[in-house]
Chains A and B, each alone.
Chain A
């Protein structure tokens, strides 16, 4: 296909090409992730060295770190924005919007997404959202400080704490931009996958990555409206003085608030009706990437393809029935709580199906240890670790003890954040040749993996002990409680490990940007993988394939078939 000469703007900025839009999402998500990482480092700085002055930081944050000591208000803003940025602007944008856009048309054999203009619009809707979220750090009172869950009344009354003012308003505005963008993206994903598949690509021949993105698109479309409705009501509570989420009798200082009739529990229900599917919006793509990567590097068909697909669907469906397990201590009916326990533990079944299928794919295979496959194995490890602690927290009797402790922090950093992040890293190492036509440095990739893997466990595994010992989540200085003082060495260890973890990511950033120019040129199919995306040229232009789109003759996992000369049969070969 011939390409017209495109100007800089139409090629790199307002591009319609799904691959360029995917890369734009990468750039945005990685920048946001970098900021979110710095926030995490600051949080750990306070917990590792409580209230110790760091004079040089005063220049950066004159209010939050006046005379170098972190104020409690600043600390609260830090973890709020760390959560918001990481969950929505890194872990949703990178695997879903980034890789979804980049991979779906390539994997299903389409020239572009169904509605390229909407695709461009969705990217340029999320950019202002991201900018607003960053700007909120620099307004009066600082950024939002009600946690990433924005529970009222902290988020509903403007005078509640410093961060409840303009910072919280900007948080809501940023989130509304995000929801709008994600809805547009989800519409595009679902419709593209349903309608634009190439000849012969039945649904049951799709790669598991595309299956995951398909279910994620549906999850987004069904769950984000709940947050949108909640955000609308919360905005009214804040700006017009209504009381949707605010009960009577709230005092701010000595002032009785005029609100009456609302219930903060309503927000929790609306938020978690989004919040739990959101966890799987982050997790499912990582599961898809892992399946594709492990099959390629084990040179094995993925074990139990059908059960993998059904597991993705089951997880997607169940994710709408479990939101109450975030609210066991909120005072809801214990009977309802037990129902949520049952649905929550039921998710363990499809999750275990996936974990065992990966293990059977790996078992007795001659694994090629590339950076991508290492990260794929990392996902399996983190997923099992985090999944086991999930069973603790999903049982209400145990959760009442562990709720709002560091056990929870450790749990979700393993399963959602960790497995999601490792999946995204694996995917970058795996599909980078198709993205930029060059290879990433494998040596740096392996260094990156080992630092990240070891440091990740070093940071988050001890948190389970902290939680069981009673250390509260979101606490500014644990040493105010005598019984937490002996835990300070553990906190110091976690902090040092967190610094190492952050430093390890610099290796990745260096590798990513330097390899774009200096990496070894990639061939069209450097991994000898069987998926349809590898039939496109090494650095495909807009339109993806020159000439006709290849048809799909088989599923994308035909590796090591007995009696064949090559150890793989590409999907596009008859």
Chain B
């Protein structure tokens, strides 16, 4: 038996405890880990912000309408993703692929808007160690939190591209779409926290 055959062999194991495959469970555990990474960053932000005096008023630095639009785009992409997962589950690969492509589009629009937001911020004199509106700590956390989240969105887009391309090649599995979807929803949910805690509070 080849190595991969052993790897994929029937385990003959007992009942799976939550009625899910190990792939899906692994994705859930990964999401927990990754969520705690964001929690570490957001808690650090909270601690330092409380200790910092001249924290800028966010609405003076950013256009909150613009950020809200970004949020809307990302949440909409979550909706299209959910449709894609459902279509894959119902055995309609073409519809599923269509929705995945829509999700990818949403991801790219979000990333583009974020890049534009960064360029405006930098154009107004903001830098990783400089902040014309108040404490430089503000811009440090702005870059690291939104940057780290943007990196996750980019990763998600790449994962979805792989799913879409594999679907186009006919190598497609509903479980794969679902796992990619789980990750995508997670990335969107994190953004809701970033939006609430960094831009609104």
**Chain A residues in the interface with B (C-beta under 8 A):** 1-4, 6, 10, 15-17, 109-112, 114-117, 183, 186-188, 190-192, 194-202, 221-222, 224-226, 228-230, 232-233, 236, 240-244, 258, 260-263, 266, 269-270, 273, 542-543, 548-549
In the complex, the chain B residue whose C-beta lies closest to that of A117 is B7
Q: What is the distance, in angstroms, from B172's C-beta to the closest C-beta of chain A? A: 20
Contact of A266 among B30, B33, B44 (CB under 8 A): B44
From A265, which residue of chain B is reached at the shortest CB distance?
B47
Q: Mark B47-68, 1 if CB is under 8 A from A, else 0.
A: 1100110000000000000000
What are 21 A-B contacts defined by CB distance under 8 Å?
Answer: A4-B1, A4-B3, A16-B3, A114-B26, A186-B33, A191-B22, A191-B26, A194-B22, A197-B13, A199-B12, A199-B13, A200-B14, A222-B36, A225-B40, A229-B44, A241-B129, A261-B135, A263-B47, A543-B1, A543-B9, A548-B12
Partner of A196 from the list B6, B11, B34 (CB cut-off 8 Å) is B11
Contact pick for B44, options A114, A195, A270, CB 8 Å:
A270
> What is the bound-complex CA distance between A192 and B29, given in angstroms?
12
Asked whether A16 lies within 8 Å of B6 as measured between CB atoms, the reply is: yes
- In Å, the complex CA distance between A542 and B16 comes to 23
Q: Are A225 and B13 in contact (CB under 8 A)?
A: no
Interface majority SS (helix, strand, loop, mixed), chain B: helix
B41 within 8 A of A: yes
User: Nearest-CB distance from B20 to chain A (Å)?
Assistant: 8
Residue in B37, B48, B144 whose beta carbon sits within 8 Å of that of A236 in the complex: B144
- In the bound assembly, the distance between CA atoms of A196 and B9 in angstroms comes to 12
Whole-angstrom distance between the Cβ of B44 and the nearest chain A Cβ: 6
Task: Please pick, from B1, B44, B52, B128, the residue contacting A3 in the complex, using a CB distance under 8 A.
Answer: B1
Select one of B30, B47, B136 contacting A243, CB under 8 A. Answer: B136
Given A225-B39, A243-B140, A262-B137, A115 contacting B22 (CB threshold 8 A): yes
Interface size for B (C-beta < 8 A) is 43
> Given A229-B41, A543-B6, do A196 and B29 touch, yes or no (CB 8 Å)?
no
Among B4-38, those with CB < 8 Å from A are: 4, 6-7, 9, 11-14, 16-18, 21-23, 25-26, 29-30, 32-34, 36-38
Contact pick for B36, options A198, A225, A262, CB 8 Å: A225
Residues of A contacting B11 in the complex (Cβ-Cβ under 8 angstroms): 110-111, 196, 549
User: Is B48 within 8 A of A263, CB to CB?
Assistant: yes
Chain A residues with Cβ below 8 Å from B47 are 263, 266, 269
Q: Are A261 and B136 in contact (CB under 8 A)?
A: yes
- B25 contacts which of A3, A16, A109, A194 (Cβ < 8 Å)? A194
> Quick check: is B193 within 8 A (CB to CB) of the other chain?
no
Chain B contacts to A: CB under 8 angstroms: 1-4, 6-7, 9, 11-14, 16-18, 21-23, 25-26, 29-30, 32-34, 36-41, 44, 47-48, 51-52, 128-129, 135-137, 140, 144, 148
A236 to B143, CA, bound (A): 11
Cα(A196)–Cα(B30), bound, Å: 18
New A-B contacts (15) at CB < 8 Å, excluding given A225-B34, A260-B136: A1-B6, A3-B1, A112-B6, A115-B26, A191-B25, A195-B17, A199-B13, A221-B32, A222-B33, A230-B40, A244-B48, A262-B137, A542-B6, A543-B1, A549-B12
Q: Which residues of chain A have C-beta atoms less than 8 A from B2's C-beta? A: 4
Q: Is the CB of B33 within 8 A of A199?
A: no
In the complex, which residue of chain B has the Cβ closest to the Cβ of A237? B140
Closest to A267 in B: B44
How far apart are the CA atoms of A186 and B26 in the complex, in Å?
A: 10
CB-CB under 8 A from B32, the residues of chain A are: 221-222
Q: Which residues of A contact B148 (CB under 8 A)?
A: 232
Q: Which residues of A contact B39 (CB under 8 A)?
A: 225, 229
Set of chain B residues within 8 Å of A202, measured between Cβ atoms: 14
**B17 neighbours in A (Cβ, 8 Å):** 194-195
Q: How far is the CA of A200 from the CA of B14 in the complex (A)?
A: 7
When the two chains form the complex, which single residue of B14, B30, B48 contacts A261, counting CB atoms closer than 8 Å?
Answer: B48
Residues in B neighbouring A114, C-beta threshold 8 A: 22, 26
Residue of B nearest to A14 (CB): B3
Out of A16, A112, A190, A240, name the residue touching B29 (CB < 8 Å).
A190
Decide: B1 and A2 in contact? CB cutoff 8 A: yes
Q: Which one of A10, A183, A194, A240 lies within 8 Å of B128 (CB-CB)? A: A240
Which residues of the other chain, A, contact B135 by a CB distance below 8 angstroms? 261
Contact B37 A197 (CB under 8 A): no
- Shortest distance from the beta carbon of A81 to any chain B beta carbon, whole Å: 25
| A229 near B40: Cβ-Cβ < 8 Å | yes
Taking a contact as CB atoms closer than 8 A, the residue among B18, B21, B144 that contacts A232 in the complex is: B144
Does A183 contact B33, Cβ atoms closer than 8 Å?
Answer: yes
Report how far A191 CA is from B37 CA in the complex, Å.
20
A8 → chain B closest CB, angstroms:
14
**Which chain B positions have C-beta within 8 A of A225?**
33-34, 36-37, 39-40
Q: How far is the CA of A556 from the CA of B129 in the complex (A)?
A: 59
How far is it, in angstroms, between the C-alpha of A528 and the C-alpha of B60 when the chains are bound?
A: 74
User: A-B pairs with the 4 shortest C-beta distances?
Assistant: A229-B40, A225-B36, A225-B37, A261-B137
Give chain B residues whose Cβ lies under 8 Å from the Cβ of A262: 48, 137
Chain B residues in 8 Å Cβ range of A183: 30, 33
Q: Please name the residue on chain B nearest to A119 by beta carbon.
A: B7
CB-defined contacts of B25 to chain A, threshold 8 Å: 191, 194-195
